[in-house]
Amino acid sequence: MNVLVVGNGGREHALAWSLSRSEAIERVICAPGNGGTATLSKCENRAVGVEDFAGIRQIAKDEAIALVVVGPEVPLALGLADDLRAHDIKVFGPGRSGARLEASKGWAKELMAEARVPTARGAVFEDPQAAKDYIQKTPVVLKADGLAAGKGVMVASTGEMAHEAIEAIARGDFGSGNCRIVVEEFLLGQEASILALTDGQTIRPLIPAQDHKPIGESDSGQNTGGMGAYAPTPVVTPELAGRIQGEILEPTLATLQKRGIDYRGVIYAGLMISPEGDPKVLEFNCRFGDPETQPILSLLETPLEELLLACCDRRLAEMPPIQWKPGVSVCVVLVSGGYPGSYEKGKVITGIEAAEATGAVVFHGGTRRENGQLLTDGGRVLGVTAAGEDVKSAIVNAYRAVDCINFEGMYCRRDIGFRIRSL
């Protein structure tokens, strides 16, 4: 069968890579894809943007696409999955109503309250003064209600910082056209990302991952889309995984059902695990995580399309248990100098072959090919992903591959996986 992957990041390269490894897949088309998917075997890019619904539909028809996998949140929030389903095209990803889980943090908070899903205490405000008046103590967390590419969350350690953050959100600095403000208690603990597949009736988690959002080592500095991740994380013990299933994933799905939402895709729960071991939801996303998808899929044994098709066809309950390779996989993200602020593009990248010769897989995030050269084309450029028998050896293997790669201004965190060493 032929499949279509929508998106152009590291997550989409990992989805295309995983799908292309299956014997059942003849061709993987990416819209628009990147410099990595351009040369992946069985794979080809089409210059169609993620918001070009008509263009995506056209590819699906012309290429007899059996399954469309939507990577990013923006087209899901705009209703791409609804549009494709209305044209009888099979698609993995929720419709616009389900995508609100990510597209409106306020809506997600209300749903969690109804579902009795544990989350940080907080409230949603239209009026900035009311948000300021609500704050009793710091640190406190301020979030823009709408989509903000991972950048709309601020932890304020003083009242003054909190007021500045509220004003920035109210001004619309986070670009979603929605100026509602979520004020939340600050939670301490270890973070974990649970990516769960659902067909709207059954929900099954993939192996738990841990992301590293801040740009600087030891989690310092501004938040980014994600600087590295590893999976599985021992932060989520089998006992905790059982609680997450019963206290978070199942009630969330049941509440979506109660609201008449037919959700077929990924429910991504970003969790904080308290020092006492209790999980609380920090955020929901309506898609695979980036970079969590890279290490997770690098260990997946079950053919990915079988799982995704089972979600589309509401057969997830009939699927045998998901099979995983043993060991741990680590992904280190290499970014352009200046990211998450402004950065230059078009730098020549070298050393990817040498990196892959060590056994790592290099997923491209922001790259393009021009005149036979591979150039940087975004903030998060590459995700160097390597496995090992445990976290420590996977970290060593990943950095061995990282050290083969170079481009002007390249930066990466050298401490991916560091929190685990303190466990």
Interface residues with ligand AMP (CB under 6 A) are 120, 141, 143, 150, 153, 155, 184, 186-187, 191, 213, 223, 270, 282-283
Question: How many CB atoms are closer than 10 A to CB 151?
Answer: 16
**Distance in Å, CB of 24 to ligand GLY, minimum:** 27
Nearer to ligand GLY by C-beta: 187 or 254?
187
User: Residue 141 binds what, of ligand GLY, ligand AMP, none (CB under 5 to 8 Å, by partner type)?
Assistant: ligand AMP
Task: Using CB under 6 A, pick the residue from 82, 191, 199, 290 that binds ligand GLY.
Answer: 290
290 binds, among ligand GLY, ligand AMP, none (CB under 5 to 8 A by kind): ligand GLY
Q: Token pair for residue 373?
A: 């050269």
Min CB(359)–ligand GLY separation in Å: 24
Tell me the helix, strand and coil percentages in the chain, rounded to 5.
30, 30, 40
The item of ligand GLY, ligand AMP, none sharing an interface with residue 226, based on CB under 5 to 8 Å by kind, is ligand GLY
Question: Which partner, ligand GLY, ligand AMP, none, binds residue 187 by CB below 5 to 8 Å per kind?
Answer: ligand AMP
| Half-sphere exposure in the Cβ direction for 296 (13 Å, CA) | 27
Site mask for ligand GLY (CB under 6 A), range 291-320, x = bound: -x----------------------------
In what side-by-side order are the strands of the sheet with 122-125? Answer: 122-125, 181-185, 140-144, 153-156
CB nearer ligand GLY, residue 289 or residue 366: 289
CB of 18 or CB of 202, closer to ligand GLY: 18
Q: How many Å apart are CA 292 and CA 228, to the nearest integer?
A: 8
120 binds, among ligand AMP, ligand GLY, none (CB under 5 to 8 A by kind): ligand AMP
Provide the CA 363 distance to its chain's centre, in angstroms: 14
Residue 353: partners with Cβ closer than 8 Å, 6 or more residues away:
none
Q: Taking phi first (over 0 means left), then psi (-120 to 50 degrees means alpha), and beta for anything else, what does residue 182 get? A: beta
Residue 310 parent element (H or E): helix 304-312
Burial of 179 (0-12, 13-18, 19+ CB in 10 A): middle
Least CB distance to ligand AMP at residue 1 (A): 35
Measured from the CB atom, is 155 or 168 closer to ligand AMP? 155
Using rule CB under 6 A, residue 191 touches ligand GLY: no
Residue 361, burial from CB neighbour count under 10 angstroms (0-12, 13-18, 19+): buried
Q: Rounded to an integer, what distance in angstroms lies between the CA atom of residue 386 and that of residue 229?
A: 11
Q: Which amino acid, one-letter code, is at 376?
A: T
Smallest gap from Cβ 78 to ligand AMP, in A, equals 20
295 binds, among ligand AMP, ligand GLY, none (CB under 5 to 8 A by kind): none
Q: How far is the CB of 165 from ligand AMP (least distance, A)?
A: 12
Stretch that binds ligand GLY, among 194-202, 289-297, 359-367, 369-377 (CB under 6 A): 289-297
Our CB check for ligand AMP shows the closer of 197 and 273 to be 273
Choices 29-37, 282-290, 333-341, 410-418; region in contact with ligand GLY by CB under 6 A: 282-290
Cβ(394)–Cβ(404) below 8 Å: no
Q: How far is CA 406 from CA 90, 351, 374, in A?
A: 40, 6, 11
Beta-strand pair 265-273/190-198: antiparallel
- Stretch in the footprint of ligand GLY (CB under 6 A) among 18-26, 56-64, 230-238, 287-295: 287-295
- For position 211 contacting ligand GLY by CB under 6 A, the verdict is yes
How, if at all, do strands 43-45 and 27-32 pair?
A: parallel
Rule CB under 6 A: is residue 150 a binding residue for ligand GLY?
A: yes
Q: Where do contacts with ligand GLY occur on this chain (CB under 6 A)?
A: 150, 211, 226, 285, 289-290, 292
